[in-house]
Amino acid sequence: MSGDRATEALLDVQGLTMRFGGLLAIDHLSFAADREKITAVIGPNGAGKTTVFNCLTGFYRPTAGSLALHRDDKELRLERMDGWRIARDAGIARTFQNIRLFAGMTVLENLIIAQHTRLMRASGWSIAGLLGLARYRIAEKEALDHAREWLERIGLTDRADHVAGTLPYGDQRRLEIARAMCTEPVLLCLDEPAAGLNPHESHELNQLLLSIRDRYRIAILLIEHDMNVVMGISDRVVVLDYGKKIADGTPQDVRRDPAVIKAYLGEPET
């Protein structure tokens, strides 16, 4: 069902189920993420949002269901791929709820490592690189320019040679997003990117995410608790509760949905 590209979703999740022993973390979840759109996954704590991400990016193998990514007229079945292949071949990049930078390395090195796949190829699996061939030097210069562009965008050019672990929290969040973008993904998965940010910083984050969507024309999948971010930039919102989807639609629809209000606020007393 290759279909025509315009109507087909980039990511198509069907009947995703994840069971940890006796705990059913995700129960038959189906949703889609469209191209060039921001899709938010929200829900109360413990609803299974991060588990969905971990299934998507290959950290967990789902108990059942299919995760299909449509790229270049091909369908990639993510549930059958290793995590690093999902990042390399499917082009899914992610950030983590508790930031996972290479804390002992510099900001610039973090962004260069993200371009590992391309650089590794250019270095001829290290042989051309060891010999110092021009091919590798050019590729490295390109990688450096790419990193410089992102440093500029997240405002960290002056700190490029600082150790990443010493950056303020907000900068680390943005650096992690920039690092994910340096892998040149088709789908960017962000796990609570606004957590711990002040209102000003979370406003900046909104602008950054919108500019990523519009400039690089990629899809963003986002887990978030900060409703300013979710309602402000999402094109579509999927609401989970106890591993089940309870709502799916535009931010306006979801905001009025009685099931969502009930999940977040509880039932009104009668």
Partner 1 sequence: MDLRGLVKEAALAAFVALIVAIPLAGFDLSQQGTANGAQIGFRPSWVAIAVVTVFVGRLVIGLLPRPQRRERPPVVSLFIARHQRVLGLTGLAIAIVWPYLPFSSDYLVDLATEVIIYMMLGWGLGVVVGLAGLLNLGYAAFYAVGAYTLALTSAYWAWGFWEALPLAGVTAAAVGILLALPVLRLRGDYLAIVTLGFGEIIRIILINWQSFTYGPNGINGVPRPTFFGLPLVARAPRGGETFAQFFHIDFSLSQRYIFLYFVTLALAIVVNLFILRLRRLPIGRAWEALREDEIASRALGINPVGVKLSAFAVGALLAGFAGVFFAARQSFVSPESFNFQESATVLAIVVLGGMGSQLGIALAAIILVTLPEFGRDFAQFRMLLFGAAMVGIMIWRPRGFFSLRTPSIRLGEDRPLVEVPK
d(CA 94, CA 222): 10
Which listed residue (25, 151, 218, 246) binds partner 1 by CB under 8 A? Answer: 151
Q: Applying CB under 8 A, does 97 fall inside the site for partner 1?
A: no
CB of 193 or CB of 243, closer to partner 1:
193
| Alpha carbons 237 and 253: distance in angstroms, whole number | 9
Beta strands, E only, the chain: 11-20, 23-33, 38-42, 64-71, 74-77, 92-94, 187-191, 219-223, 236-241, 244-249
Minimum separation from the CB atom of position 183 to partner 1 (A): 6
Q: How far apart are CA 46 and CA 190, in angstroms?
A: 17
How far is 111 from 100, CA to CA, in rounded Å?
13
Contact by Cβ (8 Å): 237, 230 = yes
Residue 175 CB partners (closer than 8 Å, separation 6+): 101, 107, 110, 111, 154, 156, 164, 167
Q: Which of 94, 173, 174, 236 binds partner 1 (CB under 8 A)?
A: 94
Select 80 or 85, whichever has its Cβ closest to partner 1. Answer: 85
Q: Does 216 sit near partner 1 (CB under 8 A)?
A: no
Interaction between residue 84 and partner 1 (CB under 8 A): yes
CB 70 within 8 A of CB 52: no
Part in contact with partner 1 (CB under 8 A); list of ranges 37-45, 126-134, 205-213, 217-225: 126-134
Count the neighbouring beta carbons within 10 Å of the beta carbon of residue 129. 18
Q: For residue 155, state whether it binds partner 1 (rule: CB under 8 A).
A: no
Instruction: Determine the interface stretch with partner 1 among 10-18, 121-129, 203-211, 217-225 (rule: CB under 8 A).
Output: 121-129
Closer residue to partner 1 in complex, CB, 174/245: 174
Tokens of 135: 């091919």
Per CB under 8 A, 126 contacts partner 1: yes
The window from 69-77, 102-110, 193-201, 255-263 that contacts partner 1 (CB under 8 A) reads 102-110
106 binds partner 1 (CB under 8 A): yes
Whichever of 37 and 88 has its CB closer to partner 1, that residue is 88
Asked if 47 and 241 count as a contact pair (C-beta separation under 8 A), the reply is: yes
Query: Whole-number minimum distance, CB 121 to partner 1, in Å?
Result: 9
**CA gap 81, 73 in Å, rounded:** 18
Looking at 8, 27, 109, 142, which residue binds partner 1 (CB under 8 A)? 109
- The residues of the shown chain that bind partner 1, judged by CB under 8 A, are 57-59, 83-85, 87-89, 93-94, 96, 100-106, 108-109, 112-114, 116-117, 119-120, 123, 125-126, 129-130, 132, 136, 140, 144, 148, 151, 157, 160-163, 165-166, 179-180, 183
